[in-house]
Each structure stands twice: as structure tokens, then as C-alpha cells.
Structure 1
Amino acid sequence: MNILIIEDESRIAKRIARMAHDIFGNALQSIKHINTLHEALKFIQNNSMDLVLLDLNLNGDNGFDILTTAVSESFHTIIVSAYKDQAITAFEYGVLDFVPKPFNRDRLEQAFNRAIAKEKTGTHKIKLLAIKKRGRIRLIPIENLLFIKGAGAYTELFLADGTKELHDKSLEKLEQLLSHSFERIHKSYLVKMSEVKEIIVKSGSKYMAELKNGERIPIGRTKYKDIKARWL
């Protein structure tokens, strides 16, 4: 586990780091603390991480300026902030959790467990997916997303207008964030269930989900019964 803490209060950053060492133990490979927005953006561009803990107020700079960049990356982001009124917006952008200040060990451990145990995000709904394209960040409304295909460490997003975009997060990480409206119907596919028009049974115990746009997505044999029950 490689962790980046973006926090302008050294005391809080040290407390988070100490708790991370206690909770992760030997699984914690590295932990880095940065206290400015500019340095954090530079570090994210040049280093590989598993988890980022982000404060929303960084010496007067707005942590949301880094949020779209962070959520477009391969790692998960957890907000640690006193600005509780920003929680809904943060979840809409695709953070894994929002830990309000002041926090205790149990609450931070819950957030960490969500990251390592692939626990889903709970009651909050993501509304946007941020992608990197030609050096810029583009926000894609979830309502425009039909299905997602795993492509190794990356994913391919298939949109309602027929276009396709690449996302840096893995299928497993997006499954955590999109648990409300999308279903893992196959080891390589997440599908928006409201777009499923028909479930087709083919010879040889092969199953397909036909979408409203005519696209056909394979359904894994072990997932067929659960998918059919949810679709009905």
C-alpha cells in the first residue's frame, strides 16, 4: 500500500500517518505527506499510489482543484475535512469515502478498510467520472455511461453517443464506486442495469445481456441467476 497525505496541518498529517502504520502494518510500503496543492499535483503526476487522503482546505487553496485530477487516476481518494457540507459533492465526483474532522481511529480505519477490502461506497451516488484526455480533465456524467469493459489495469467507458473513453481506474475500483446503478455481470464487464433490454440464453449455456442500443454483453455463468433476478 502506497499512501499520499495531502494536508496543510502537520499535526493532523502525522496522526493520519501514525494510524496508517498501525492499521496497515507491514502492508504499508510507503507514506508521503505534502502540504501544498501545487506540490501534490506534481507528485501525483510522477508517482504511483494506491490511496490519497485529501484535505479540502490547503492553506486557503481549494482541495477540489485537485479532486478531479485525483479521481481520474488509478488510485482511490478519501477526503479528510471539516467541511462536512462538501461531502455530497465530493461523493458525486467519485471519492471512496469522506471522513469528517475531528475523526477518531475507528472512523479512519473504516475508510481504510473500504479501500483494501473492496467494500462498496454505501449510500452515496457518484454522478461524474473524471478522465484524462489530451492532458486535460474531462467530466463524464454517469447518466451518459452505458457499460464498462476491463482492459488490464485500465477500463474502457462506452458512452450513449457511441464513443469510447479510457479510464485509469481498474474495473474493481470502478465497481466499488458505481455499485448503485451498475452490476458486474462478467469478469470483464460492468453494465448499467437500466440499459438492459433483454437477457438472452444461447446454446452451450452461454448468456448475453442485450442493451437498448442493440449492444450485446456476455454474462458470466456464475452470475446469470443473480443478474436475471435483479433485472426482473
Structure 2
Amino acid sequence: MNLKAILIEDESNSREILRNYLKKYCPKVDLVGEAASIKEGLKLINNNDLDLIFLDVEMPFGNAFDLLEQLPERSFEIVFVTAYDHYAKDALNEHAAYYLMKPINIDELIKAVAYVFEVKEKENKLQESVLNSKSKGVSGKLTLPQQDGFQILNVEEILYCKADDNYTEIFLENKKILVSKTLKYFEEALSDFPFARVHKSYLVNVNEVVKYRKGKGGSVVMSNGKELLVSASKKKQFLSFFD
């Protein structure tokens, strides 16, 4: 499997450098087009079934986020390439798979491509086969601290946990429980069970996932019908729970 990719960058010299790096160090990337503007980039995206876009942030007549606003539904991964580190948070919000700083470090470029390749490979396998969870059983108990003591909860009852500042909402089939602990606390407490941190705000019981959707970063549908976002940076970890 190769990654079908395009490059959107307004500086011809930067395009040439990245093009040459990809050809020399990333043979599994098929660069099928280049664009120097948002308009050209949008045309390329609409005319190709893509796996990956290398996207500069600042361009004439707009920026990368203006382009992405026009693409609410997308199945390709994004690697931002920019000379400005202050866009990192916005890139994460747009579910970027990787954030490369100029001048491009070859090792980082190789890591970015390897990450996207692994994610796409896992997604393709999931589409073509019956899901076989590699997760361990969820039999166990969890104590939830409360003002007057603690509550004991069967781990298998938990559908997912949601961050709420320094609190965590624990969602069960028919109710939710608010606990004065961070989501990080529960991520560690449940590390021996099949729970995946799919987003900065969500920790899910993998056995309660009934559907996975590709998209910006992807999303999962839980057994109660709730759809939760999957961050691009968390996608590989989540997909690793399946063959």
C-alpha cells in the first residue's frame, strides 16, 4: 500500500525541498499533485481520492484553516508544514496527524509519514474484515471517591469517561456519575482494562464501541448511540485494539 498525497504550499522552493525529501526518504508516498494556493488545493482535493495532504499554514488570500473550513467531511490525514509554531493548537483542533516545522527535519518527516501509513493501513484492514477485538476482559472493580466515602463500580458498566476540567463524568448505560478526579487519573486507573484515550476529552471502553467512522480525525459510536470524536494523534492507539 502506498499513500496517495498532495502538497499545498505557496513557496516553490519549499515545494521542491519537500518533494525531493519525499522521493528520497518516503518511497511509500505517491505525490499526485501540488498546489500553490487554497483555490488550487481545493481543486486537487475534489479531483482525487487522497490519503494524505502536506499543508502549509500561511498562504496568499487565506490560510490552511480557511481551506479546511470548506471540507467539513474528509477521510485523508493532514500533516501541517509551517515555520510558525503558534499554530500548533489550531492544528490539533483540526485533527492534524503531525505538525512539521520548517526547515523540515528528515527524521520528523519520516516519522510523520510512518504514523499516517500505519493509521491508514489499520483503517483499510478494519474496512475489509470482521472486527476482532484484541482487548482484554473488563472484569474488575473501580472505586470512585466521594465526600462521604467511596462508591464501588464494576468496570464493565462504564461506557466512556468525559473530561470536565478537574472533574470526570463517567457514563453508564442509564446514568452518569461526576467524580472530582481528572480524566488522566481514570486513564491510569483503567490502564489494565480495554480503555482507549481517543481524544483529550474522552476515554472509551473499547468493548462498547459499535462503529468507527473515518473523518477529520475519525469518530466512534458507542453502544448508547453517542458519537465521540477521535483525535488524529490518538487514532493509532485506538486502532491498535483491533486486528
Determine whether 1:23 maps to 2:8.
no
For the residue of structure 2 that corresponds to 1:53, the secondary structure is strand
2:233 alignment partner in structure 1: 177
Whether the 8 Å CA contact 1:51–1:76 is kept in 2: the answer is yes
The residue identity in structure 2 corresponding to 1:150 is: Y
If you compute each CA radius of gyration, which structure gives the higher value, 1 or 2? 2
Q: CA RMSD in A?
A: 3.7
Unaligned runs of 5+ in 1: 120-140, 168-173, 189-232
What is the Cα deviation at residue 18 of structure 1?
0.7
> Which TM-score applies when normalising by structure 1?
0.54
Q: Structure 2 vs 1, CA of residues 145 and 43 (structure 1 numbering), >3 Å: closer, same or farther?
A: farther
Aligned partners of 2:240, 2:5: CA distance in 1, in Å? 31
**Partner residue in 2 for 1:74:** 75
The equivalent of 1:43 in structure 2 is: 44
Task: Give the deviation of 1:34 after TM superposition.
Answer: 0.3
Change (3 A) 1:33 1:72: same
Matched, 1:11 2:13: yes
Structure ranking higher on relative contact order (CA contacts 8 Å, 6+ apart): 2
Report the alpha carbon displacement of residue 144 of structure 1 after superposing the two structures with TM. Answer: 8.6
Aligned twin of 2:212: 150
Q: How does 1:101-116 map to 2 (within 5 A)?
A: 101-116=102-117
Q: Would you say the 8 A contact 2:57–2:81 is kept in 1? A: yes
Q: In the superposition, relative to structure 1, how do residues 164 and 28 fare at CA in structure 2: closer, same or farther (>3 Å)?
A: closer
Question: What is the aligned length?
Answer: 157
Cα separation, 2, equivalents of 1:19 and 1:71: 30
Q: In the aligned structure 2, how far is the partner of 1:3 from the partner of 1:185?
A: 24
Distance 2:231 2:87 in 1: 23
Report what 1:134 is aligned to.
none
1:3·1:49 contact (CA, 8 Å) conserved in 2?
Answer: yes
SS of residue matched to 2:67:
helix
Match of 1:196 in 2: none
- Normalising by the residue count of structure 2, what TM-score does the alignment of the two structures yield? 0.52
Detail structure 1 runs of 4+ shifted over 6 Å in the superposition.
153-156
2:51 is the counterpart of 1:56: no
2:212 and 2:220 in contact (8 A); partners too? no
